[in-house]
Structure 1
């Protein structure tokens, strides 16, 4: 039986087969006895690779999505949520949607400069830019890279609207930027809460902020005058939902 590495969400790191790349499959019997033979799995270190995109705003024309543009400062997410729909996107780099997604991350340090360049184009039409649509803009590496903050600084200078979705209380670090924007009707934050039970949260979202920290962040953002919403998702029957009577 597969066993989680310390504080990681995925239990496996299968090679991506999305693009029919050559792959190998370990013998099932050996996998069953691996822990007995090799002992506990060593902890995985998070690595960050610089990605240099030519543009930073992603646009969509889906009638099912409330926004038509978004920015993701990072690819991959160290929060390691086991249910994350963005995991398969790592296949575009020939990496696994499993452990690779939460340990082999990509950062886009040129994002603020690219954003400024795109906003300066004569034909640019202003609409709210959504952050946190694919991976969390306030995942742990934001503490060091500060790319999300850099983008907010650009948007603040331009009086450009922004929405943020995150599981991290790290967003409160940027209240000094978001509160003045909110006073102009330009900023809103949504905090995702899956469960108030820390044991469930640790299992589903091993490196995301604890539920108590998220609740504290909601209070702090709201007290600062920033429109703050709660996303109760995902609801997993019999785990995060209320059992039926």
Structure 2
């Protein structure tokens, strides 16, 4: 193992926060909103992504290459050139009303975080949850953003009916190792306390292995 040393970069050493990036949002008008898969390696057969791209900018995100399908970079474009689907709830209602539709849990937060910062403005995720609660349709959410606590009323009501599981991803509690544009660990931890009324799990990964550690909520 080589002897590693920290080297001072005079241009970046004193910066406590990453530089501010400008986010550009394009309105997308899809024809359908439920994405289906038949992979035996995936635990769900349907999902919804209210957005394309993600402001959290996790370097390890497997969804980054999908931005190349739109002629955009899987790098900074994935984090700053986003797509929003404001008609998602209306499209979902049409699909749920189709003859022969069979309910099964819809996974939210598969390719993009449903509670990334632009959700504050567009409220697409909340609109989807309102419809899911109205129709008593099961779903799961995976997020790393404290904004999930905004919808505690809907999530708690769905959880009481056995319709909702919330997964909170935890990479680290050390601010020095967090994803550049994600919420700080203390802010996220306060969201866990708020979510104690929902059936949920926190997922933790280590540098040596990527394993899931579910923590039961009281």
Say if 2:49 is the partner of 1:89: no
Specify the alignment match of 2:81 in structure 1: 104
Alpha-carbon offset, residue 237 of structure 1: 3.6
Specify the alignment match of 1:119 in structure 2: 96
Say if 2:45 is the partner of 1:68: yes
CA offset digits 1:125-182 (Å, max 9, x no partner): 0000010011100000000000000000110100000100000010010011111110
Specify the alignment match of 2:213 in structure 1: none
Counterparts of residues 1-245 of structure 1 (less than 5 Å): 7=18, 43-201=20-178, 205-222=179-196, 225-233=197-205, 235-237=206-208
Distance (Å, rounded) in 2 between the aligned partners of 1:109 and 1:101: 19
Structure 2, unpaired ranges of 5+: 1-8, 210-218
Distance (Å, rounded) in 2 between the aligned partners of 1:144 and 1:184: 28
Asked if structure 2 preserves the Cα contact closer than 8 Å seen for 1:47 and 1:105, the reply is yes
Distance (Å, rounded) in 1 between the aligned partners of 2:30 and 2:47: 14
TM-score, length basis structure 1: 0.77
Question: Counterpart of 1:106 in 2: which secondary structure?
Answer: strand
Q: CA RMSD in A?
A: 1.9
Asked if structure 2 preserves the Cα contact closer than 8 Å seen for 1:218 and 1:228, the reply is no
Question: Counterpart of 1:230 in 2: which secondary structure?
Answer: strand
More divergent stretch after superposition (100-109 vs 43-52):
43-52
Distance (Å, rounded) in 2 between the aligned partners of 1:142 and 1:101: 16
Distance (Å, rounded) in 2 between the aligned partners of 1:228 and 1:218: 9
Distance (Å, rounded) in 2 between the aligned partners of 1:112 and 1:106: 16
TM-score, length basis structure 2: 0.86
Number of aligned pairs? Answer: 197
Alpha-carbon offset, residue 215 of structure 1: 1.6
Instruction: Report runs of 4+ in structure 1 exceeding 6 Å deviation.
Output: 3-6
Distance (Å, rounded) in 2 between the aligned partners of 1:83 and 1:236: 12
CA offset digits 1:31-76 (Å, max 9, x no partner): xxxxxxxxxxxx5310000011100000011111111100000000
